[in-house]
Amino acid sequence: MPSHQHRTAPPGRRAVLAAGAAAALAFALPPVPAAASTARPAGPFGRFGSPAHRLTPRTLYVHPGGLGDHPTVQGAVDAAGGPGWTLVLAPGTYRETVLVSAARTGMTLVGASEDPKDVVVVYDNAAGTPRPDGTPYGTSGSATTTVQADGFTARWVTFANDFLRTDLPGNPGTQAVALKAQGDRSAFLHCRFLGHQDTLYADSMALNALARQYFAHCHVEGDVDFVFGRARAVFEHCRFRTLLRTDLPSAPYGFVFAPSTARGNPYGFLVSRGRFVSEAPDGYYKLARPWVPGSDPTAWPSLVVRDSVLGPGIDAVAPYANMRDAYPWQAQRFGEYRNTGPGADVTVPENRPQLSAAEAASATRAAYLGDWTPVAP
């Protein structure tokens, strides 16, 4: 189980948590209506009650200064035994690791201010970071937040991993996960996911387990494979931001997606009406590369990006690459449909697999999520 002790961010830690980071979200989140902002109740928990006036008997309040039921997110998770609990998080930075175990089904995390920049769950473990016993955490163990439970929902929360490659000079274990989601029917609405390599791990509990995940109006940023895994995940109206890298002299800096879809799963990652932006030079990022992990050599990675705006940061000539030559990207289930923007220009047709209208008809949220309809954003 992850440790969830507090730790102060080292000096020089990148400013992912600064208020100015809200500007990076401007295109992903619609503005709050004026009437709602002026009518919002005062107090650290906004319109979501308080320990003295609970919304429901299964609502717990988290406040880093001690004004809630618990000062840490993990403390509230541990106290929420059984299904259907709601945790209301007051504005603050929660420097801890969090595990929502499989037994805590139907849990909801709510950022009380209804602005994700105000509620940040962050830590700085990486794959190469040594555990107390001296062994490395590994990629999965590096996650700031791990969600194993089915039916999980998060609204207006930032999940971050602020590890920097310079924290472990010379160590290749630079994967540093902000969120690892493994449960079925997981929804993330108006959330942010901040990191560098392997920011968002959309995974499942087992190779043959169904893990449907829904991300709406979210912001995800990173550099190498920063959205990866084998989940059946739908991203609607999300913004993907690729970062500048000063440690590399030339392109490519990295890859947005690295799906590892199981061969028996007809659906992998679907991006619909997304926006891809970059602080790096034009063409320095690939859209995707397939990940065929050693634990599943039969994986058949699947990614569809449709009706989205691809900025100039994406390499339009060669947007896909191999992770290993034994598994060429051309043999995977990659496709695009009706994308626009300079990163979507089809200059070399064989490098840009396009779906037909008939194929695109099955690349929808309803097809991917089946009998599960997420709550409205």
Decide: helix, strand or coil at residue 39: helix
CA atoms within 13 A on the CB side of 100: 31
CA atoms within 13 A on the CB side of 317: 4
Amino acid at 209: A
Residue 13 CB neighbour total at 10 angstroms: 15
To which residue do tokens 């928990």 refer? Answer: 45
**H-helix or E-strand containing 75?**
helix 73-79
Residue 52 CB neighbour total at 10 angstroms: 6
**H-helix or E-strand containing 77?**
helix 73-79
Decide: helix, strand or coil at residue 117: helix
Distance CA 341, CA 85 (A): 42
236 φ, ψ (degrees, to nearest 5)? -115, 135
Q: Which residues are catalytic?
A: 198, 225
| Sheet with 309-310: strands ordered across | 92-95, 119-123, 158-161, 192-194, 219-222, 239-242, 275-278, 309-310
Cβ contact 242:251 at 8 Å: no
Decide: helix, strand or coil at residue 61: strand
Distance CA 308, CA 240 (A): 11
